[in-house]
Structure 1
Amino acid sequence: MTIDAASHHPPRPIRVVLAEDQILVRDSLKVLIDTTPGLATVGEAGTGAEAVLLARRLRPDVVLMDVRMPDMDGIEATRRICVAPDSAGVRVLILTTFDLDEYVYAALRAGASGFLLKSATATELLAAIHVVASGEALLAPTVTRRLIAEFLQGPQSTPVVRDLNDITQREREVLTLIGKGMSNSEIAEHLHLTVGTVKTHIGRLLAKLHARDRAQLVIAAYEGGLTTIPDGRRR
């Protein structure tokens, strides 16, 4: 594993740890990332436990985390990374397949900043890394919203009771639109606000609801009853 030492070449590249047990897949991801300007692989893990250790030791910007790995699965690894003080600021992007929906929801609850389907293109993967590294959450409305809605109503879900009494009416409106999968610019247009104002509201929501990032705000919108379960959901 290597550590980025190009501090004299601004801006600093986005530092990525790859957590994937299939060597061929991991090597392919590494080549893609390392040949893309502005990105750099700084560590590779073949198990969830190794991913946790690398996240704490290297403090990368993003951990690209597979769900199914030996020793410790990606969900537990994500939880340990997100709660550990020595890996604060490290963001996790989950790699999954569409038939592992319940893992996606569990990952978001564990603190992941989003997920990417393994059928994604190289362009989508690179864009996802940038989105998560910037502090946003990768939440595709057509996929994530439905998944969260499904598992909130399922017997395996134990919704967290969130007190929304301390948020303002405008913050409630913003949170509702976040739950619907809208971007900051879409929220700004819908509410006739500036993007900067929307970001301010989101910052206050994160603080008031003790949410780690936008992904957890989406969950808060569902658990708080602000966003309804879409029609046509899978049974």
Structure 2
Amino acid sequence: MSTLPPSNATVPFRQERELIADACRVLAGRGLADGILGHISVRIDDERLLVRCRGPLERGLGYTTPHDIRLVRFDGTEAAPGELDGWSVPNELPLHTAVLRSRSDIAAVVHAHPPRTVTADLAGISIRPIIGAFDIPGTKLAAAGVPVYPRSVLVRNAALATEMVTAMAGRPVVLLRGHGLTSAAPSVEQAVLQAISVDLIAGLSLDTISAGGTLHNLPEEDMAELPDLGSTLNMQVAWRHELARLDGIVESKATVFHRTSS
């Protein structure tokens, strides 16, 4: 089996592999991809993509390393010698390639299984703009609509992937009933942050209804007052926070382990 060599000069797309690996761990750290299910891809060109693959030492999304990110062709074959030695592409690779083929504005696709999002959809609760300044990008995403692909299937072939893309209707996120969600964006960071926002709204919706409340869309005058805080805050700072949050989780677990083992 092969692994990525340590030299920056000999590994193509090393930075992209590291970004995807970080993003997989962020999804898991946020509870959007518990266990071994879920994957992220990035378009390299019209024939190739980087995608999290099944590896020889599979430990789940929360423990993804750059070694697990492999360069493959859209048809699932390796795009360079050794890329799939010991690794296999996700069963749902067609989910990624269908989105990338159909939308030239998209470079990254996230597929995850957030329990709160799945629960809210199964309960008939749609993703609505119920919050305002609490999460401005998420509110605006919800206000424009989050569609649902109503089939609870493994999106493992072109026909099912085409159905999902059709249901997605050009939106950034589509829910997959009884399954999870797909988030697409020009960057990995944005695709992950969109998924986090949708899951946050799903969780708040569930909590509100459980507390006996009623969901109401944000009034139009409040929506009009929501500013665009810019990509620096919405993307760059938010992403640095997610990475720092991951480091904090790791440090916290290490401290607990040290205390219990002392």
**TM-score, normalising length from structure 2?**
0.29
**TM-score, normalising length from structure 1?**
0.31
Larger CA Rg, structure 1 vs 2: 2
Q: Between the two structures, name the one with larger relative contact order (CA 8 Å, sep ≥ 6).
A: 2
